[in-house]
């Protein structure tokens, strides 16, 4: 089967690119001919809050990646759409995560479907964005109405699709597959040494781009709880700020938390991911709202216990009391769970064993099969 995946990929960096590249390898393992089509310009600079959109790491030599879509240049949308229409892939997979991408991706999808052969499906991370802006609805509908089917990675997004009136197209929920491309589990001592961290502290990990909905402010306020202040723990903040850092600094200064923090607030390259996860006792996701989280699937790969808040689709992936804690998104609830975790040292081993069991269900083969199913194609 001839498959094209349209979305972020190298030389772009970040979780979406990592996911799409791993998905391409899963299609290839299934015997399909696959390539990726990505952006020459993903975001205009005024819309991108980070330091750079582009990776400094070597590109994946085993994948075919075409860099050709400019998100603000319609001429490139037309060129890519017409070319793919002529090429007649059997399956065109879009990654949709932001209404801003609706015009570019929706135009390409419509052009390709015009060949009467290609089936167009989308992995929809979100159809209702975390951070809402005027015009989100029409831009999202423009893209969604050009698709033959959908796969969502949380039940809440599946419900959003139906609420928006897209319940007639085939749609399936399949959980986010395991991020198994960051290398093997490392001994804690090895990871701490690589990061230059002293071993006599316990470490919590907040990982990924820092945005308001991810709740780092809630986590910092929890860390100020007197019970946690008395424990030899530190919070590793590993990820680039995608917004103003000033409000977080106010909390840090207010509660005098500097001594409780390990700051790594730059983009974390792939080769360093294992060190941060393997150094941590527990991975923190104190989100205020969410659909699904790639951080959970990295934590599963490295068999790390997790604490997540009971918002969106997070609790679907994190069985409470099996691999960690599911708590309300409040500083007190987070602090209570961490006090329990460190008061009962056996829980870490219990939760680690739980991750080894639960992670078996997060398969890339299942995702590939779901995409073909909603497209009406056979493996």
pLDDT of residue 54: 67
Give the position of tokens 């135009």.
107
Nearest-angstrom CA–CA distance, 150 and 194:
41
pLDDT, tens only, 221-235: 999 999 999 999 999
CA distances (Å), origin 232, targets 102, 157, 190, 201, 339 = 48, 39, 20, 5, 12
CA distances (Å), origin 311, targets 154, 279, 327 = 11, 26, 9
Strands (DSSP E) contained in the chain are 2-6, 33-41, 65-70, 91-96, 119-124, 149-152, 171-173, 202-207, 233-238, 261-264, 282-285, 306-309, 324-327
Nearest-angstrom CA–CA distance, 166 and 149:
9
pLDDT of residue 1: 95
Let me know: does 255 contact 289? Beta carbons within 8 Å: no
Residue 241's DSSP bridge partners are 210
* CA pseudo-torsion sign 217, 220, 224, 228: positive
Spell out the residues 6+ positions from residue 61 whose beta carbon is closer than 8 angstroms to its own: none
pLDDT of residue 121: 98
Stretches in the chain below the pLDDT threshold 50: none
Indicate whether this model's pTM tops 0.85: no
Q: Which domains does the chain have, with CATH numbers?
A: 2-177+363-375 (3.40.50.2000), 188-361 (3.40.50.2000)
List the structure tokens of 35. Answer: 């390539």
pLDDT, tens only, 161-210: 988 888 788 999 999 999 998 999 999 999 999 999 999 999 999 998 88
List the structure tokens of 239. Answer: 């990820």
Helix (H, G, I), strand (E, B) or coil at 147: coil
pLDDT, tens only, 108-151: 999 999 999 999 999 998 887 766 777 788 999 999 999 999 99
Between β-strands 33-41 and 233-238, what pairing exists: parallel, antiparallel or unpaired? unpaired
pLDDT of residue 128: 78
């Amino acid at each position: 089967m001839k498959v094209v995946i349209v979305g972020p990929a190298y030389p772009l960096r970040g979780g979406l690119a990592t996911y799409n590249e791993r998905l391409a390898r899963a299609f290839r393992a299934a015997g399909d001919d696959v390539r990726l089509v990505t952006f020459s310009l993903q975001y205009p600079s005024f819309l991108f809050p980070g330091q750079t959109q582009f990776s400094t790491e070597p590109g994946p030599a085993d994948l075919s990646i075409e860099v050709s879509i400019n998100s603000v240049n319609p001429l490139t949308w037309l060129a890519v759409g017409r070319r793919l229409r002529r090429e007649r892939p059997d399956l065109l997979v879009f990654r949709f995560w932001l209404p801003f991408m609706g015009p570019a991706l929706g135009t390409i999808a419509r052009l390709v479907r015009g060949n009467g052969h290609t089936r167009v499906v989308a992995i929809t991370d979100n159809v209702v964005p975390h951070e809402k802006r005027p015009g989100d609805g029409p831009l999202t509908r423009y893209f969604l109405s050009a698709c033959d089917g959908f796969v969502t990675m949380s039940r809440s997004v599946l419900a959003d699709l139906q609420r928006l009136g897209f319940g007639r197209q085939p749609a399936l929920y399949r959980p986010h597959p395991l991020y198994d491309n960051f290398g093997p589990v490392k001994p804690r001592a090895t990871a701490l040494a690589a990061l230059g961290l002293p071993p006599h502290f316990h470490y919590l990990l907040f990982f990924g781009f820092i945005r308001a909905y991810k709740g780092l402010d809630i986590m910092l306020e929890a860390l100020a709880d007197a019970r946690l202040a008395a424990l030899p723990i530190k919070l590793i903040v590993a990820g680039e700020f995608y917004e103003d850092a000033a409000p977080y600094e106010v909390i840090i200064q207010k509660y005098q938390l500097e001594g409780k923090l390990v700051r790594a607030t730059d983009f974390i390259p792939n080769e360093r991911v294992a060190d941060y996860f393997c150094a941590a006792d527990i991975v923190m996701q104190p989100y205020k709202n969410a659909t699904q989280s790639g951080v959970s699937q990295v934590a599963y790969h490295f068999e790390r216990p997790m604490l997540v808040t009971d918002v969106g689709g997070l609790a679907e992936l994190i069985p409470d009391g099996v691999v960690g804690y599911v708590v309300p998104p409040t500083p007190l609830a987070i602090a209570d769970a961490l006090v329990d975790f460190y008061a009962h040292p056996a829980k870490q081993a219990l939760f680690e064993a739980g991750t080894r069991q639960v992670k078996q269900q997060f398969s890339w083969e299942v995702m590939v099969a779901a995409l073909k199913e909603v497209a009406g194609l056979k493996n």
